[in-house]
């Protein structure tokens, strides 16, 4: 019996090592494309999908201002984009892509402050030596290394070229917070982390709540500890029997009441600006806790109740022209916008969570940012660069609290 076409495709696919049959309705995008709620460019934007992403097509329509065809794709949304048919499996990789699943996203570096540093717009500009001095301090994500006239260059995520010798490599933090879901619905809070006042110092453990007491041990920065209570004067925290640390050398995550806007089993986030900690909840039960870095004194993070409006896999962030501190940071990973330009996101350029450090956003260690990004709404399908919240699928609520501004902490800023 002669095999039909579908049988032939399945047999060939098996021979070349694929485990799933080809999708007859699958396409591969040739350019980035916006995903719309309806087959119209005036419809609500659901997000953006990356070129070379392979998606399953559920339905097609002509017209509506689309020069190709409108395609309804899985899991949601319509696209009008240049594409080609494919027999390969649909994309299952989330963005940003991680080599072998290992963080961080890539190689990062800071451009040195030297008068001879030049930034080239593209390869041809570098060959002709037509570059310009950077207008502001730059941190960049390396996409590849290129050799031009015997010199090594970083090609950045923005497509720029900078000579490698002018870039100082970062070592992104390996820190990660704690899974604290007990599995039985009981809260495991409070907990705390050791956070010394001086960089690279240890936190001393005293036998009793006094700096005159014998030092029995030391804690490395960011070590998670129990929080058994405070001394009568509030200066010390008990972490075990006959073990005390200074209260101002700890960061405490406490149980908080679920906001009235959150449903019983809904995921939400609590950010404590005084303690510099973040806790993820499902309903009333805390599931994940970590330290953060919020805005510095001149760039305070706004308190209030927000919902995540948009999630972006990677983003270049830059200061405004009128900002008192100029900067450009490329390849910022796992960005979750909550209000205007304020976002929760990964920070590869410092390892000082537990104290204010940002220009207003909530900085997370890369591992924390990646973990939280996958937990919260809106969900970002594989191959999508970004996803927007909608009225039908609202973003996760983020409650940013400030003891200095309790009234503002209760204000709602959903839009």
What is the structure's pLDDT at 5? 43
* 287/258 Cα distance (integer angstroms): 13
CATH topology of domain 5-85: SH3 type barrels. (2.30.30)
Pick left, alpha or beta for residue 81 (phi over 0 → left; psi -120 to 50 → alpha; otherwise beta). Answer: beta
What is the structure's pLDDT at 178? 95
What is the structure's pLDDT at 51? 95
Pick left, alpha or beta for residue 367 (phi over 0 → left; psi -120 to 50 → alpha; otherwise beta). Answer: alpha
Rg, Å, the chain Cα set = 25
What is the structure's pLDDT at 24? 53
What is the structure's pLDDT at 199? 86
What is the structure's pLDDT at 415? 74
Which structure tokens are listed for 182? 């007990």
Which CATH number does 190-253 carry?
2.30.30.40
Strand, helix or coil for residue 337 = strand
Q: Name the CATH superfamily for 267-409.
A: L,D-transpeptidase catalytic domain-like (2.40.440.10)
* 301/295 Cα distance (integer angstroms): 5
> Could you tell me the strand order of the sheet in which 304-307 lies?
178-179, 285-291, 277-282, 267-272, 397-401, 304-307
- Structural domain spans, the chain: 5-85, 101-169, 190-253, 267-409
Fold matches, 190-253 and 267-409: no
What is the structure's pLDDT at 281? 97
* 112: CB partners within 8 A, 6+ apart: 166, 167, 168
Split the chain (415 residues) into runs of 10 and give each run's mean pLDDT.
40 37 76 97 97 96 91 97 95 90 88 93 96 94 95 95 96 94 85 94 98 97 97 98 98 97 96 98 96 96 98 94 86 97 96 96 97 97 97 96 94 89
């Amino acid at each position: 019996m002669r095999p039909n076409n579908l049988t032939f495709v399945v047999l060939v696919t098996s021979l070349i090592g694929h485990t799933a049959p080809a999708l007859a309705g699958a396409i591969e995008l040739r350019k980035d494309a916006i995903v719309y709620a309806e087959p119209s460019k005036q419809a609500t934007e659901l997000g953006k999908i990356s070129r070379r992403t392979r998606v399953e097509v559920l339905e097609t329509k002509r017209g509506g201002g689309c020069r190709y065809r409108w395609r309804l794709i899985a899991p949601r949304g319509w696209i009008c984009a240049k594409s080609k048919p494919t027999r390969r499996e649909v994309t299952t990789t989330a963005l940003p892509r991680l080599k072998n699943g290992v963080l961080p996203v890539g190689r990062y570096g800071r451009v040195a402050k030297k008068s001879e540093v030049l930034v080239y717009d593209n390869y041809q500009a570098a060959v002709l030596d037509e570059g310009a001095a950077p207008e502001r301090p730059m941190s960049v994500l390396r996409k590849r290394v290129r050799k031009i006239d015997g010199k090594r260059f970083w090609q950045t995520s923005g497509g720029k070229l900078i000579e490698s010798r002018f870039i100082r490599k970062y070592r992104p933090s390996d820190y990660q917070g704690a899974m604290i879901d007990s599995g039985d619905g009981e809260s495991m809070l409070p907990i705390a982390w050791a956070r010394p006042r001086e960089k690279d110092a240890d936190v001393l453990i005293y036998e009793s709540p006094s700096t005159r007491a014998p030092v029995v041990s030391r804690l490395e920065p960011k070590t998670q500890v129990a929080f058994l209570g405070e001394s009568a004067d509030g200066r010390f925290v008990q972490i075990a029997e006959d073990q005390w640390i200074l209260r101002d050398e700890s960061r405490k995550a406490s149980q908080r009441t679920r906001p009235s806007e959150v449903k019983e089993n809904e995921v939400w986030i609590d950010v404590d600006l005084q303690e510099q900690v973040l806790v993820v909840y499902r309903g009333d039960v805390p599931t994940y806790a970590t330290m953060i870095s919020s805005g510095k004194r001149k760039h305070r993070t706004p308190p209030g109740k927000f919902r995540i409006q948009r999630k972006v896999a990677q983003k270049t962030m830059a200061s405004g022209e009128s900002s008192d501190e100029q900067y450009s940071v490329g390849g910022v990973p796992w960005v979750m916008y909550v209000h205007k330009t304020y976002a929760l996101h990964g920070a590869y350029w410092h390892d000082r969570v537990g104290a204010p450090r940002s220009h207003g956003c909530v900085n997370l260690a890369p591992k924390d940012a990646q973990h939280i990004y996958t937990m919260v709404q809106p969900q970002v399908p594989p191959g999508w660069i970004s996803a927007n919240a909608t009225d039908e699928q609202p973003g996760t609520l983020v409650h940013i609290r400030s003891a200095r501004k309790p009234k503002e902490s209760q204000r709602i800023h959903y839009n």
